[in-house]
A = this chain, B = another copy of it.
Amino acid sequence: MTTSRFEVIGIPGIPMVRPGDNLVDLISTALADIGESLQDTDIVCVAQKIISKAEGRLVRLADVKPSAAAIELALETDKDPQLVELILSESDEVLRKKPGVLIVRHKRGFVMANAGVDQSNVDHAEGDQALLLPLDPDASAATLRRELKAKCGADVGVVITDSANRPWRLGTTSIAIGAAGITVLDDRRGETDVYGRELKVTMLNNADAIATAATMVLGETVEKIPVAIIRGLQVSGDGQNASIINRPLEDDLFR
Contacts and interface: CB of A to CB of B under 8 A. Distances in A.
A225 B171 contact: no
A241 interface: no
A216 interface: yes
Given A169-B205, A171-B205, A1 B197 contact: no
A205 B168 CA distance: 13
Interface string A168-205: 11111111000000001110100001110111110111
Nearest to A168: B111
**Copies of the polypeptide in the assembly:** 2
B223 A193 contact: yes
A115 B35 CA distance: 48
Contacts of A16: 194
A224 B195 CA distance: 12
A247 B173 contact: no
A252 interface: yes
A17 to B, nearest CB: 12
A98 B166 CA distance: 22
Contacts of A217: 1, 3-6
A24 B135 CA distance: 50
A231 to B, nearest CB: 10
Contacts of A204: 171-172, 215, 219-220
8 contacts: A6-B217, A16-B194, A101-B253, A163-B201, A172-B204, A193-B223, A194-B223, A209-B215
